[in-house]
Structure 1
Amino acid sequence: MGTNILITTIGRRGTLTKIFKEELHKIGGKVIVTDNSSLAPALYQADDYYLTPRIDAPNYIDRILDICQKEDIKVIIPLLEQGFSILGQARDTFKQVGVELLLSSSKVFNLCKDKYNLYNYFREHEIATPETFLVEQLQEKNVSFPLFIKPRSGQGSQDTFIAKDRRGLDYFIDHMEEIVIQEYIQGTEYTIDTLSDLAGNLLSAVPRKRIEVRAGEVSKAVTVKEERLIKWAKEIIEGLGIVGPANLQAIITLEDEIKFIEVNPRFGGGVPLSYQAGVNYPKLITEMINGKDIEPFIGDFKEGLAMLRYDTPLFKAVGHES
């Protein structure tokens, strides 16, 4: 019998869902997905789906446990950072019923989601990163514009802005809650998709150059074999102790220096490109969950493969209540 995988809060990640469905079918498994909205389009790409309460609802974990038992789920892959803490607290409960939560520890994702604490971690470990500070530290800084503004906590690159002058900076300070202010770096943006085993050993790292981003998610990208990015990805991912999928954000500056910006302990929006480049995530996750030793293949992927996204509508009959 194959391994059944549950992906939570699937939203519009239809391509990722189809990848898991196709690959798991080859090895006798299936993919089940959840969301709290019947209008989440990726629900209808899976083998089956379940609607759940909101992540912060008191019966959310009970609902997930019920789904796991009904569908003989062996591993849960969460996608939405807002649910990591709640799912993480139930890790032992899932283990008791034979379900692995493929998610890094609470210590890891709490560090990664806090952009200022992650900046301090980078500095302490001599990982190059743009200078970053809080509003209350502004008086001590001799800042030069433009500056990059983003929420201290957040998922993806939405709600990020450029302050071109002091007036713009004051506007963002007044209208946004708990921001970090970052040195503005010119250069080329990269994402490195990674996968680590349950012991935190890096198995795969695929850098991709971000060509175009829309609504906070990459829409055009191309894989590149930039050995420096791969080397640093291994050091950062294993240093943090990340397990399962993750992605790192970096910039190669006009002076050819690498500066790391973010670490996200989850699948990135552009991970279908890394799959097409040779990283079979469903198969690898199934093998690691079943205790198989996997030989790392870091840097072994197809270079120069581009992903060009486009919109595809899904038509579904719904009731008036939707």
Structure 2
Amino acid sequence: MIKKIPVLVTGVGGGGNGHELVKTLRLTERYRLIGVDMAETSFGLFDVDEAYTVPPASNPLYIDTLLDICKKRQVKILMNGSEPELNVISKNKECFLSAGVLPLINTANVIELGLDKWATITSLKKHGFCVPESLLVQTEAEIPKNFILPTVIKPVVGGGGSNNTFVVQDYDELEFACRYLIRQNKSVLLQEYVGTPNDEYTVGILHTLNGELIDSISLRRHILSGLSNRIKVKNRTERTELSPILAISSGISQGVIENFPEIRQGCEAIATAIGSKGPLNVQCRFVDGKLYPFEINPRFSGTSYIRALAGFNEPDILIRHHLLGETLPHKSVNYKFGYGIRGLTERYITELQPVQPWLKTPSF
């Protein structure tokens, strides 16, 4: 029997990125999956080979807990399931490397850039890419009296899953949304709403951890279904070119994977320009032949499992290359085109065996 590679995946709660990564790695038979989360009833803890609860990423014991798990369970690969965990793991990357554990994350500079939406837009403009008209607002006094409507308003930092994101169509709404976020001590990003719901894409660009481009994959989002969208409103403006419904992706991504060469090549150029090394995702719209990136997610995507089903298993490719020394596949869009559709899966447990906190487990 081939000995399986121990992989630690954090933040494996149901529907989240960590659980999608667990499902992605399960498509192969190479890995022994160790999953951790804060809550003992997190869905993904029931889909791994070993499950433990750990402190939240904000807890000073978080990194030491992960390092202890890695040491005692002989973990070789670490993958994060949420952005707070990505941030803290990035800052402590050398601790894991010194312990013989390889975190599959991008560089600290790219992560810092991607987690700050204003820094992202500023960098994209500096490199000459088209972006939606954007404005940073940090105080109530800076709320503009004049800006392109309709407008997307969101926190500069955080806001995963489009939390605290608004689509506004007049200045009363704009002022309300800005004040609401500022009074929560959040800096605010205003962005011009461009295109239609049919113009939105999520694009994965995979580089090795040394910066060699492996390939890219693009999914045109279907964002008007209830599962994929919590933010959609009737268009009340006179801008009929934007379609009768204004919507942005704010749920579980699904859609069609095709070649989309202009979009992929444009996003590859973005990833190269910012020095990406590892997994990266560009959220964008493609309107009248122009690519409008509006966010960069410096991590594996929530659509990783859909991509793996299509034949592009990003974490598996990186592990086989960096850990097992396998030759990289040639960049050739060597995956299947089709539709990635998603739903909800339930599990009912009559005799719940509590998942144990790691610090209370014995040494192995």
Please, what TM-score do these two structures have when normalized by structure 1?
Answer: 0.91
Q: What code does the residue aligned with 1:74 have?
A: K
Deviations 1:105-159 (A, max 9, x none): 2221111111111111111111111011112696778423211111111223232
Q: Is the 8 A contact 2:20 2:302 kept in 1?
A: no
8 Å Cα contact 2:9/2:34 also seen in 1: yes
Opposite residue 84 of structure 1, the aligned amino acid is L
Question: Does residue 1:266 correspond to 2:290, yes or no?
Answer: no
SS at match of 2:97: helix
Q: Which residue of 2 aligns with 1:201?
A: 212
**1:236 counterpart residue number:** 270
Q: Distance in 2 between matches of 1:19 and 1:105?
A: 23
Counterpart selection for 2:195 from 186, 204, 214: 186
> Which residue number corresponds to residue 121 of structure 1?
123
1:297 is aligned with what amino acid? K
**Cα distance in structure 2, aligned partners of 1:138 and 1:90:** 36
Contact 1:9 1:35 in 2 (8 A): yes
Judged with a 3 Å threshold, the aligned counterparts in structure 2 of structure 1 residues 145 and 18 are, in CA distance, closer, same or farther, namely: closer
| Rounded Cα–Cα distance in structure 2 between residues aligned with 1:152 and 1:126 | 21
- 1:292 equivalent in alignment to 2:301: no
Runs ≥4 residues deviating over 6 A: none
* AA at the equivalent of 1:165: D
Q: Pick closer, same or farther for the CA change 1:319–1:139 going to 2, 3 Å.
A: closer
Cα distance in 2 for partners of 1:108, 1:293 equals 25
Gapped regions of structure 2 (runs ≥ 5): 231-249, 355-364
2:110 pairs with one of 108, 111, 117: 108
Seen in structure 2, the aligned counterparts of structure 1 residues 181 and 108 have a Cα distance that, compared at 3 Å, is: same
* Distance (whole Å) between structure 2 residues aligned to residue 287 and residue 319 of structure 1: 34
Tell me, in whole angstroms, the C-alpha distance in 2 between the residues paired with 1:139 and 1:158.
20
Hey, what's the Cα distance between the residues in 2 that align with 1:113 and 1:119?
11
Residue in structure 2 matched with residue 16 of structure 1 by the alignment: 21
Write the letter of the residue equivalent to 2:195: Q
SS at match of 1:292: coil
Residue 218 of structure 1 deviates from its aligned partner by 2.9
Work out the CA distance in 1 between the residues paired with 2:211 and 2:94.
19
User: What do the CA deviations read for 1:28-79 (whole angstroms, capped 9, x no partner)?
Assistant: x312111011121011111111110111111111110111112211111112
Q: What are structure 1's unaligned runs of at least 5 residues? A: none
CA gap 1:282/1:107 in 2 versus in 1, 3 angstroms = closer
> What do residues 269-291 of structure 1 show as CA deviations (whole Å, max 9, x unaligned)?
12222111111234312212223
TM-score (norm 2): 0.81
Whether the 8 Å contact between 1:193 and 1:274 is mirrored in structure 2 is no
Is the partner of 2:301 in helix, strand or coil? coil
Residue matched to 1:52: 54
CA contact (8 A) 1:202 1:237 kept: no
The percentage of counterpart residues that share the same residue type is: 26
The residue aligned with 1:144 is 148
Deviation by residue 1:250-285 (Cα, 9 ceiling, x = unmatched): 1012x2321111111112212222111111234312
Query: 1:146-203 CA deviation, whole Å, 9 max, x = no partner?
Result: 1111111122323211111010011011111311001111231000123221112221
Residues 212-263 of structure 1 show CA distances to partners (whole Å, capped at 9, x for unaligned) of: 224533343110211111112221222222233221111012x232111111
Q: Write the distance in 1 (CA, Å) between the matches of 2:267 and 2:304.
A: 16
Matched residue type, 2:62: Y
Cα-Cα RMSD: 2.2
Shift in Å, 1:85? 2.6
Corresponding residue pairs, total: 316
Q: Residues 144, 117 of structure 1: CA spacing in aligned structure 2 closer, same or farther, 3 A cutoff?
A: same
Q: Secondary structure at the match of 1:217?
A: coil
Question: Does structure 1 residue 5 correspond to structure 2 residue 4?
Answer: no
